[in-house]
Amino acid sequence: MAENKISYKEVLKESEYRKLLISTIINRFGDALDAVGFTWLVYQITHSGTWSAIIFALNILPNVIIQPFTGALVERLEKKKVIVITHFLRGFVLVAFFLIYLMGYANGWIMAGFTFVITTIEAFNMPAGNAFLPRVIKKEHITHGMSLNSTLSSAATLVGTGLAGVIIAAAGLKTIMIIDIITFFVAGVIIFTIKCEQMEENLEVIKSESYITTLKEGVNYIRSKQVLVNCIVIAVFLNMVLVPINALQAPLVSECYNLGSELLSVIGIAGSIGSILGSIMIPAISKKLSMKQTLIIFGMLMGLGVMVIPFGGMITDIVLIKYLFAGLCFTILTFTSSLIVGIFNITFVTNVDPKYLARATSVIVSAATAVMPIASMLVGWAKVRIETGTMITICGIGVIVLLVITMMINPELEPKKEMTNEVKVA
């Protein structure tokens, strides 16, 4: 088959896709700098862990309460314009915050407000970006294109995270903010230059409908596709059982490994490497395994990797071995999760009718994100009753149990032929 001969080199020959890829890399690099810089800035200004938690919650809240409704609105607009405008808007919002910071007026309330505004803008950007990708790349190149996009995004995040501390130490937080602002504008300009030959079908029809009708159509479309419903349910449960891994990294390092922040850095680097490796493997795995087989095989490996994470501090007192053990576990975790998520995204993008793509993206992201604050509260409640290591091991067992139940129920995770026939990318 022709698809078996496709290579990354061939995909990169598509000039408009290259522009989108470069824009994504620049954007992810800026986001990585911001993630480190803003986290440090919040604590530097407020000297409060409570404010850090509040601002973390505000980073999630718009995805839960706003994004389910933004997809229907984005569906009525030209996706390229939405992406460009949201990039520029975030840039201007950061400029405003930077000026307030320079004048010495920044405080917890102001940072919380700006966080909510920026995340709200991102709630429009994400569904637009997901719906725009199939319009700038050939259908037969989507698997390799999304894999390359994910791989280089992870690499940009790794580089940005690594450089953030160096930049802060050498040039200060102001430099981080300036670079972040520039990345938004540069990414927006690059997207603006993309020539999208594949016109947005049904846009005029959707515009003629009321917003409520567009929203209802999107919900009804998702409900009518059992594959999408099943994937959403599995994504929600996987997200829920993995929340403690992110929430308890610091206690894990301290209580289970008796080490400090150096191990956190090792975990972060190992996680990024795992994500990159998983993204690279997506085309090869997607050719050999179905979505269900990928979920079961690599999901089981993920569960085992999570289950044994706390044991690294028990098996040895040698620091280097502890680093290697924890690094290996987190590499397995991010390798398997990026592979599962990547193949899920490809299946999703290639089999959802393009005119519903933005709406479906909004619903799925919102559902998967909504469980995070609930799971975080449960983790906080359980933490005073259960040791960190025990809790993480239980999470690993939870992943395995979920997959065993999935095998027993055998839900439909592959698109039916008639669903595929609806796709009109070209």
Whichever domain contains 220, its CATH number is 1.20.1250.20
181 and 261 part of one domain: no
305 and 369 part of one domain: yes
Residue 357 to residue 376: CA distance in whole angstroms: 29
- Which residues touch 49 (CB under 8 Å, ≥6 apart)? 43
Rounded to whole angstroms, what are the CA distances from 69 to 22, 24, 351?
Answer: 29, 24, 22
Is 206 inside a domain boundary?
A: no
272 and 157 part of one domain: no
Which ranges constitute the DSSP H helices of 133-195?
Answer: 142-171, 173-192
129 and 235 part of one domain: no
In the DSSP assignment, the letter for residue 256 is I
On whether the CB atoms of residues 87 and 191 are closer than 8 A, the answer is: yes
Average pLDDT for runs of 10 along the chain of length 426: 64 90 93 83 75 73 79 83 95 95 91 91 88 84 85 85 81 91 96 74 60 76 81 80 75 83 78 87 86 89 92 86 91 91 80 76 77 74 81 89 85 60 36
181 and 239 part of one domain: no
231 and 196 part of one domain: no
- Which residues touch 408 (CB under 8 Å, ≥6 apart)? none
Range of the domain at 311: 214-426
Give the residue among 199, 217, 201 at the shortest CA–CA distance from 209: 217
Is 247 inside a domain boundary?
A: yes
Contacts of range 312-320, beta carbons closer than 8 Å, 24 or more positions apart: 312/256, 312/257, 313/256, 313/257, 313/258, 313/259, 313/389, 314/256, 319/259
20 and 73 part of one domain: yes
114 and 256 part of one domain: no
Q: How wide is the angle at C-alpha 115 spanned by C-alphas 119 and 131, nearest 5°?
A: 10
- Which residues touch 119 (CB under 8 Å, ≥6 apart)? 58, 59, 60, 61, 62, 63
Is 207 inside a domain boundary?
A: no
Of 155, 177, 200, the residue that ends a domain is: 200
192 and 301 part of one domain: no
Classify 410 in phi/psi space as left (phi over 0), alpha (psi -120 to 50) or beta: left
Burial of 262 (0-12, 13-18, 19+ CB in 10 A): exposed
Is 208 inside a domain boundary?
A: no
On whether the CB atoms of residues 282 and 147 are closer than 8 A, the answer is: yes
Is 205 inside a domain boundary?
A: no
220 and 168 part of one domain: no
Q: What is the pLDDT of residue 5?
A: 67
Q: What is the pLDDT of residue 420?
A: 41
Q: How many CB atoms lie within 10 A of CB 171?
A: 12
Cα torsion 123, 141, 204, 85: sign: positive
Is 45 inside a domain boundary?
A: yes
Residue 310 to residue 325: CA distance in whole angstroms: 10
Q: What is the pLDDT of residue 268?
A: 78
What distance, in Å, lies between the first and last C-alpha atoms of the chain?
A: 20
Domain total of the chain: 2
Q: How many CB atoms lie within 10 A of CB 107?
A: 12
On whether the CB atoms of residues 312 and 257 are closer than 8 A, the answer is: yes
Of 135, 170, 200, the residue that ends a domain is: 200
pTM above 0.85, yes or no: no
On whether the CB atoms of residues 238 and 306 are closer than 8 A, the answer is: no
Residue 276 to residue 270: CA distance in whole angstroms: 10
Rounded to whole angstroms, what are the CA distances from 220 to 11, 413, 422?
Answer: 35, 18, 16
Burial of 380 (0-12, 13-18, 19+ CB in 10 A): exposed
- b/e sequence 238-249, b meaning 16+ C-beta within 10 Å: bbbbbbbbebbb
Is 209 inside a domain boundary?
A: no
Is 172 inside a domain boundary?
A: yes
389 and 343 part of one domain: yes
Phi and psi at residue 281, in whole multiples of 5°? -80, -10
Please identify which residue in the block is written with the tokens 């400090």: 260
- b/e sequence 14-30, b meaning 16+ C-beta within 10 Å: bebbbbbbebbbbbbbb
Of 150, 172, 200, the residue that ends a domain is: 200
287 and 419 part of one domain: yes
